[in-house]
Amino acid sequence: MKQIKFIFTGPPGAGKTTAIATISEFPPVSTDVFSTDGLAKVKEKTTVAMDFGQITLDNGQKIGLYGTPGQQRFKFMWEILVQGGLGLIVLVDNRRPEPLKDLEAYLDNFADFIDETDAVIGVTCSDIKDTPSIDDYQELLQKRGQVFPTFAIDARNKDDVLFLLNALLTCLELS
């Protein structure tokens, strides 16, 4: 059975590495190094190449979980990582100054990939900052002519991340 490949992306600190570590059935491969710029105030380490984990569904289907670096300067890794991918999980950190613009930026950068596959959106840290709301995200997507399942999640919570994955699988099955 061929392995499905899903890609996690989103701004630095949104919880991509954490989400993969939360559900991966083995300790994920990570390429985290010390942050040496302003990000160090937010988090000590940052992903500079990729994260990789795996989860096996009840039917034996294996899903490879690939995390991208968040920073634009690692865009070359985004282009490598989406190759062969079947779906995109965009995590957005609600604490950042402009989460809606963050989301738009990633949707634009991964537009070709999303057009051919599908995407779901997970909003993290909405318990810390509750605006914009999920409705605001949906409204933004509607304006863009896009519909993607959007949920508030805690990247440390296995059920939350699995729910996101299930939503993406459902979208793919229905398409």
> In terms of Cα–Cα distance, which of 101, 37, 49, 91 is closest to 74?
49
Nearest to other proteins of 25, 108 (CB atom): 108
- CB 35 to other proteins: min, Å: 6
Q: How far is the CB of 169 from other proteins (least distance, A)?
A: 12
Q: How far is the CB of 90 from other proteins (least distance, A)?
A: 13
* Among candidate residues 75, 69, 74, 34, the one with its CA nearest the CA of residue 52: 69
Which residue's CB is nearer to other proteins, number 15 or number 149?
A: 149
Cβ 127 to other proteins, closest distance in Å? Answer: 22
Residue 87 β-bridge partners: 6
Q: Give the separation between CA 154 and CA 149, rounded to whole angstroms.
A: 16
Using CB under 8 A, list all residues that contact other proteins: 11-12, 29-41, 46, 48-50, 69-79, 82-86, 96-98, 101-102, 105-106, 108-113, 116-118, 138-139, 141-142, 145-147, 149-150, 167, 170-172, 174-175
Q: In angstroms, give the least distance from the CB of 61 to other proteins.
A: 15
Between 40 and 57, CB nearer to other proteins: 40
Nearer Cβ to other proteins, position 131 or 175? 175
Nearest to 168 by CA among 85, 108, 102, 81: 85
Q: How far apart are CA 37 and CA 20, in angstroms?
A: 24
Distance CA 161, CA 157 (A): 6
Cβ closest to other proteins, residue 22 vs residue 68: 68
Round to whole Å and give the CA distance between 22 and 106.
23
